[in-house]
Chains A and B, each alone.
Chain A
Amino acid sequence: AQTVTQSQPEMSVQEAETVTLSCTYDTSENNYYLFWYKQPPSRQMILVIRQEAYKQQNATENRFSVNFQKAAKSFSLKISDSQLGDTAMYFCAFMRSSNYQLIWGAGTKLIIKP
């Protein structure tokens, strides 16, 4: 069975700093998708970034980028120039290409301090 582990329950950084959130996963699949979702205090679940396992190039969305290490089964999220609005829970999620069920980590609470 697939599992997703986020080892950092909570992180706190100053505004404008760079922060990296870690995520590891366990699977025997070769084709799959990885996601980072953000859940701000409003509790809405918002897609941050998506990575296809068959792509070697790391996905990037503006200030958000990932470090995808397939062999190590690692999928970390880097937030550059952090902003107060980045304060949220961040969830890492995994999906097999042959399936549709998102498997979620427990989340990392990120606090951006002014």
Chain B
Amino acid sequence: NAGVMQNPRHLVRRRGQEARLRCSPMKGHSHVYWYRQLPEEGLKFMVYLQKENIIDESGMPKERFSAEFPKEGPSILRIQQVVRGDSAAYFCASSPERGGTDTQYFGPGTRLTVL
């Protein structure tokens, strides 16, 4: 049973470009969470999605950031017009049910570097 898949593992963008990060949850999991990790820090919650629905995006910056989890295909975290401060590791996690009673399992992360 494959774990949570994220790609790419490393992404380099120049300022002003767009970054697209992909996450495929574990088989049977319908809940996806995105977290951001800045250097030397713990993770910070960004957004929680179910299929075709954004449940909570309270941790996501209001501008330039968006997320989706379509009926078919992976969840996508999109960052438009990237800036140097967006450089971080972005982790996706999934759970079969809403978190709390179920543990969130993490992917390997995507390391975004903005030049």
Contact = CB atoms under 8 A, between A and B. Distances in A.
B99 interface: yes
Contact of B108 (A43, A95, A104): A43
Interface residues of B, number: 27
Interface of A: 4, 33, 35, 37, 42-47, 50, 91, 93, 95-107
Given A50-B103, A95-B100, A101-B59, A45 B91 contact: yes
Point out which of A4, A91, A101, A107 has the most chain B C-beta atoms below 10 A from its C-beta: A101
Contact of B48 (A43, A100, A105): A100
Contact of A101 (B42, B45, B91): B45
A76 to B, nearest CB: 17
B100 A42 contact: no
Interface in B79-95: 89, 91, 93, 95
Given A43-B108, A45-B91, A104 B103 contact: no
A42 B89 CA distance: 12
B80 to A, nearest CB: 24
A71 to B, nearest CB: 22
Contacts of B91: 45
B30 interface: no
A107 B37 CA distance: 11
B48 A104 contact: no
Given A91-B42, A100-B95, 14 more contacts: A43-B108, A43-B109, A45-B91, A99-B100, A100-B31, A100-B100, A100-B104, A101-B56, A101-B59, A102-B35, A102-B99, A102-B104, A103-B45, A105-B42
